[in-house]
Structure 1
Amino acid sequence: MTTKDATTEKTVPKSIHIDFLDQSSDDSNLEDSNTLAKEYTLDIPRIPSVELPLHVSGRPESVTKAVSMCGGIDKIKEMLKKSTDPEVENYLELYLNDMKTKDGTENSFFNEHPIIGKPVPYRDSSVVLKVVMPKGTMKKHEGNIQKSLASLHSKDYKITPVAVVDNTIKFREMSDFQYRLDNVPAANEYVQSFGSLEWQNIKQLVDSVPDNDTMPQENISNLIFNRGLKSPSSDYQLPPPPRLSMIGFPHLYKYKKNPLAVKKADGVSEVKGSYIKNYQLFLHTLGDDVKIPLQPHKSLQNDYKIAKETNIYPGTKESSKFYESLEECLSILEQLFEKRPIWIKRHLDGIIPKRIHHTLKIALALITYRFTMGPWRNTYIKFGCDPRSSKEYAKYQTEYFKIERKLLSSQTVRKNIPKLNEPVFESNIPGDIDTRFRFDGKQIPWYLMLQIDMLICEPNVAEVYDKVEYLETPNEITGWFSELDLVKIRRIVKYELGCLAQGNLDFNKYKLKYFKTMQYVKESLINEKDIKESQAVDADGDIDMDNDSNGNKGDNNKSKEITPGDIEDEDDDDNGIIAGEVDEDALDAEESDSNDNIRIADAMEDEITQSKENFDLSSANFQDVVARIMESDPETAKRLQAELEGFVNINKI
């Protein structure tokens, strides 16, 4: 964020919401309460950035010092340039110490280690705004840009987007205590002798060391230390540890123990397995200059080549039979990607057999690549397949829908939403996508990241889809579709999902007709007469969520006339359904495929045996018991899971 106070510019490391309307309490000053904020094009320069864990002021000397701590501007430019290459692993080193002694010489002694920063290209884009306001406004409000803007009329300041930050190097490592050894005699002697690489200095140091005691262990118990003497803080003669923290990154709150670590009957812990690297290829933009990968990462090719020659995949043991399972998984995937070149991994989870599912991530990395943004985000695309090349790939674009928390607060709604808790399951259609992933207007799908062809089972969506006019070239926002066509589809799905979540299967046909015949993306541009001709006078298709504790409905259940204002408000509410806004938690779980190493058990049977030995019925929950029953009697387990909700304490029966 760049702000300009008269002739002075300042950098504010905050993101704010800016209302372009007059925020005065006097509504008479507003010509139109429904006036839209001014739109700005984002066809502006893309710039990189470095996010430092430092307090950097706007003074040139402060910026210069921060840059030098990262190795200089040339080093930063080199790292930012490399970060766009998916096959190059690189990082930037930030030294908290200036690495120089008092006389100005370089000093990299002992634990003056750097913090590692890694690039995150195209994942956390942000807009740099230039804010111009009257001189003295920022000073009057103590540099607070929000208060400064709130105190001004909209005509008294100007806000302009000047750049988009789409490539950022971030430092997420923990910073621990480090010791400066400038005043330590032993450290200075080392730097001046061995550090200088001058033989004369080294020889002088060696000659100054007294003869070594050949038996230093003798009489050690008779040594007397004078604890009363206070040593100065600068007299630190022992070399400090290289690092004080045992881990580079702090643990997440959702920390999980190593699933391969088991505890034997004698209480001894043992890790029965290993980890192997997942080299999934990612593309970070849909630009014309981006070339579609034709083969997997070079390191993955090398691992696979070794596995073919030795029948053992690198990082696994022969007993795990990982390579044999991987070959079987690849054979199945090759057939699936011949029929359908773009898949969502959740759909594949139900097709790949459970006994070889642990090889799926490696197998996908061997035959597919992924986009981190755009209409095909969160999908696996066959090598050589370019979804930008033909309109036939439009049906594989993804749309995301999310049920809001305010809706999920209802017990009734939670019961109406199906859950797929098992990471590995069996599709109800052998070799194809489970029907419960499709949206037909009669049930809520298992997974709300839906490809377009998973939506056209619903008649109203299919009606819009059949009339779609594709764009000449796809864009990063709507792909092959026009914005209006996607808005129509999203509106229909959001409305019906909201109704289904509330247990209402009787959709309002007038609302659906309105959604299908929309002429503009923004309803405020629609002629009021056209709206009234295409909609009903009541909205009883919705179920009122404002019920009291006894289930009685409030006044909001009464019929009322729908106005353009209601339609506009409904865009924000939409029956408690959000569309187009990606749930970062869901994506983190899905996209962790590229970040996490793959866990491989050395011997699956041993692991199952150990888990059975450690199973404690007194502490197991309902799902644990069902999972145990599933191993020997799947039919009974499924019946129990469907008919029972959990355990009841015997004292409460």
Structure 2
Amino acid sequence: MTSKEISTEHPLPKSIHINFLDQSSDDPNQTNSNILAKEYTLDIPRIPSVELPLCVSGRPESIAKAVSMCGGINKIKDMLKKSTDPEVENYLELYLNDKDNKNDGGSSFFNEHPIIGKPVPYRDSSVVLKIVMPKGTMKKHEGNVQKSLASLHSNDYKITPVAVVDNTIKFREMSDFQYCLDNVPAANEYVQSFGSLEWQNIKQLVDSVPVNDTKPQENISNLIFNRGLKSPSSDYQLIPPPRLSMIGFPHLYKYRKNPLAVKKADGVSEVKGSYIKNYQLFLHTLGDNVKVPIEPHNNLQHDYKIAKETKIYPGTKQSSKFYESLEECLSILGHLFEKRPIWIKRHLDGIIPKRIHHTLKIALALITYRFTMGPWRNTYIKFGCDPRLSKVYAKYQTEYFKIERKLLSSPTVRKNIPKLSESVFESNVPGDIDTRFRFDGKQIPWYLMLQIDMLICEPNVAEVYDKVQYLDTPNEITGWFSELDLVKIRRIVKYELGCLAQGNLDFNKYKLKYFKTMQYVKESLINEKDIKESQAVDGDGDIDMDRESNENNTNDKEFKDITESIIDEDEDDDNGIIAGEVDEDALDVDESDSNENILIADAMEDEMTESKEDFDLASANFQDVVARIMESDPVTAKRLQLELEGFVNINKI
């Protein structure tokens, strides 16, 4: 549900233009014309929206009811205004039942709790289009917009962008179970007494409760129930708990237990550590009006100042020596960010020593900020460094690649894909990025979120990179690069990654030549006339040549066949690889920084944490337990091994 009445106060960015390929023509002889449609500017109003887990129709009554369930239009407006302030924690409550309307399923006594909706500003932007078409077209095609447009000539409809939705409140909690208690005697007694706020009714209920009943359990058999009360079998005579589900969100897959949680001998669990907040600074847009931060969050500065004075970081204990480790980490990061102002955290994981790695997020928040969108998304950027000001920062832009599930279903492909099993490891290049993160065309990198300078180790990508023409100013999509140059790089990397995943190291040189010499972002814009003309000039069949003679004798027909086959394929033959768009599920939890709270051990013992992480006492056998005891007390372990043959289940004793 989107309301035009609600508006945010962000300044508008510079104009962004969009156009659509119009393949229709009034000329019957021009069957495959490639005409660009009218260009539209996105210098249009920015509006917020509320994404509801409800079926809301366009009828005013339906919209009014949905607004009422959220607390009213004023409540929604207030939440949307607050959502643009990163310092304010806010949410919107959605009640699924109308308590004031019994005829519509409401109840005078209900155990309902609301679903919490939280704002997601600047993260999901979408364009609201106004489509005008002849009356009755939508009804004829059962409300299907795509079929309706396909049935019309381009002159019979009009599409205009009217707004951009850049601030959305989303509801992701489970709705849980709801119970109507209208026919429950105990609930009715409460409503008629305390619910009525009448003193006489309240006094009558209190007086009906026995005084000084020393043995209430003996009266259970004497209780009299009203058997004549007709109530549906779905109504329970016991008041249900406020919440039946103990969690607001479903558990995620690949769940891992807290490595600092330990269970004592008496069975009581405890966490030997504390949680501290990292206060990482984020920028949500690349607009010219946004200034890059030059210092950390105020709260983080306050905590760090206290730590320097007391030598104990707030929220940690002196025994953990967190402050000393943090200072060492800051010293290392200082040198690293002098050499390279923009880093991916995964690369830093292999450089920061394992014994102080738990301080990395706090250290990064003290010296860097991050973009949540654009070409430098998911990188850590040194305070004061603005990658929008100089082309030298183009090489630090990030590109995303993912191997599709259809390839991963093959055991051979899974065997060819290297995995970085440990979150903390040691780089094979001391003080620098591990070579296994780089793409050289000979092996699949450890991590498929790659900065541009991690790609130019591959000769074909380097050839394209050396000839790029940088833009005068960067944009939110391609940064400093033109779209065509990025498409060339992506096509080369996608093709080679797909080959490597399938164990093919013999790349097709004609395909690579074609990718390097593409003239258009979409291959469908290349017509046969362009190909023939370029081939008539160039004996090698290259599309983009300087019309110079070439001494190499290339098989002209083979290149022509391959070129035509590429054009005949889908516009973006991914070769089993997805590129360009961020896949949130593929990003590591550490990169996404979805949890601002960091767990810090009271006494950081990495070896003990590692060994305990995969050890489950409930499923461990006798030898597993003895082996674990052997790590800390070899003498006792040997004695147990000699004297005991195994364990007996306590239930069988």
TM-score class, shorter-chain normalisation, is: 0.7 to 0.9
The equivalent residue for 1:221 is 218
1:167 Cα deviation from its structure 2 partner: 1.4
The amino acid that maps onto 2:584 is E
The residue that corresponds to 2:488 in the other structure is 488
Alignment root-mean-square deviation, CA: 4.1
Distance 2:92 2:137 in 1: 38
Residue 332 of structure 1 deviates from its aligned partner by: 1.5
Q: Which residue of 1 aligns with 2:113?
A: 113
Tell me by how many angstroms 1:121 deviates.
Answer: 1.7
Q: 2:81 — aligned with what?
A: 81
Q: Are the counterparts in 2 of residues 537 and 562 from structure 1 also a CA contact under 8 Å?
A: no
1:156-203: CA deviation from partner (whole Å, max 9, x where unpaired): 55444433322110011222344567893433533443xxxxxxx659
Higher relative contact order (CA 8 A, sep 6+): 1
Using the aligned pairs only, state the percent identity. 78
With over 3 angstroms needed to count, the CA separation of the structure-2 counterparts of 1:338 and 1:20, relative to structure 1, is same
Deviation at 1:340, TM superposition (A): 1.3
Q: Say whether the 8 Å CA contact 1:45–1:162 is kept in structure 2.
A: yes
Write the distance in 2 (CA, Å) between the matches of 1:116 and 1:609: 35
After superposition, residues 587-626 of structure 1 pair within 5 angstroms as 587=587, 589-595=589-595, 597-605=597-605, 608=608, 611=611, 615=615
1:618: how far off?
A: 13
* TM-score, scaled to structure 1: 0.76
1:198-223: CA deviations, max 9, x gaps? Answer: xxx65984588439755222364044
Does structure 1 retain, via aligned residues, the 8 Å contact 2:21–2:34? no
TM-score (norm 2): 0.76
What's the secondary structure of 2:242's corresponding residue? Answer: coil
CA distance in 2, matches of 1:435, 1:458: 13
C-alpha distance 355-253 of structure 1, shift in aligned 2 (>3 A):
same
TM-aligned CA deviation for residue 240 of structure 1: 5.6
Q: String of CA shifts for 1:276-306, please: whole Å, max 9, x gaps.
A: 3342222111011222122333333343344
Note closer, same or farther for the CA distance 1:561–1:232 as it changes in structure 2 (3 Å cut): same
Structure 1 stretch displaced more, 115-124 or 239-248 = 239-248
Structure 2: gaps (5+ residues): 3-19, 543-557, 633-653
3-state SS, counterpart of residue 500 of structure 1: helix
Counterpart-to-counterpart distance in 1, 2:154 and 2:70: 41
Per the alignment, residue 187 of structure 1 pairs with 191
Single out whichever of 261-270 and 299-308 deviates more from structure 2.
261-270
The reply to whether residue 529 of structure 1 matches residue 532 of structure 2 is yes
Alignment-derived partner of residue 448 in structure 2: 448
User: Quick one: which amino acid aligns to residue 226 of structure 1?
Assistant: I
Task: String of CA shifts for 1:65-109, please: whole Å, max 9, x gaps.
Answer: 22232232233223222222333322122233446488xxxx998
Equivalent residues in 2 for 1:488-507, closer than 5 Å: 488-507=488-507
1:238 deviates by 7.7
Output aligned runs, 1:277-296, within 5 Å.
Answer: 277-296=277-296
SS of the residue 1:573 aligns to:
coil
Aligned residues between the structures = 576
Matched AA of 2:71:
G
Tell me, what secondary structure is at the counterpart of 2:48?
Answer: strand
Give the Cα–Cα distance (whole angstroms) in 1 for the partners of residues 614 and 461 of structure 2. 51
Match in the other structure for 2:381:
381
Give the direction of change, closer, same or farther, for the CA distance of 1:342–1:30 in structure 2 (3 Å limit). farther
1:228-264 CA distances to partner (integer Å, 9 max, x unpaired)?
6244659999876433332222222443333333445
SS state of the match for residue 258, structure 2?
Answer: coil
Against the structure 1 CA distance between its residues 359 and 152, is the aligned structure 2 distance closer, same or farther, given a 3 Å change threshold?
A: same
**1:134 Cα deviation (Å)?**
3.5
Matched, 1:573 2:570: no
* Residue matched to 1:460: 460
Q: Give, as a single letter, the amino acid of the residue that structure 2 aligns with 1:313.
A: Y
Secondary structure, counterpart of 1:330 in structure 2: helix
Query: What is residue 334 of structure 2 aligned with on the other side?
Result: 334
| Residues 511 and 147 of structure 1, relative CA distance in 2, 3 Å threshold | closer
Q: Does 2:64 align with 1:54?
A: no
Task: Say if 1:84 and 1:535 are closer, same or farther in 2 by CA, change over 3 A.
Answer: farther
**1:195-594 equivalences in 2 (<5 Å):** 205=202, 209-210=206-207, 213-218=210-215, 220-223=217-220, 224-227=222-225, 229-231=227-229, 241-263=241-263, 269-526=269-526, 527-529=530-532, 531-532=534-535, 561-564=561-564, 566-567=566-567, 569=569, 571-587=571-587, 589-594=589-594
For 1:186 and 1:616, the matched residues in 2 are separated by: 48
What is the CA-CA distance between 1:373 and the residue it aligns to?
Answer: 1.0
Residue type of the partner of 2:393? Answer: Y
- The residue type equivalent to 2:432 in the other structure is D
For residues 579 and 126 of structure 1, the distance between their equivalents in structure 2, rounded to whole angstroms, comes to 21
Cα gap change, 1:68 to 1:447, in 2 (>3 Å): same
Any idea what the Cα deviations from partners look like across 1:108-137, whole Å, max 9, x if unmatched?
988553321101122233333333343334
Residues 134-143 or 41-50, more deviating:
134-143
Contact 1:179 1:240 survives alignment (8 Å):
yes
1-structure distance, mates of 2:438, 2:609 = 38
Cα distance change on mapping 1:108 and 1:432 into 2, 3 Å? farther
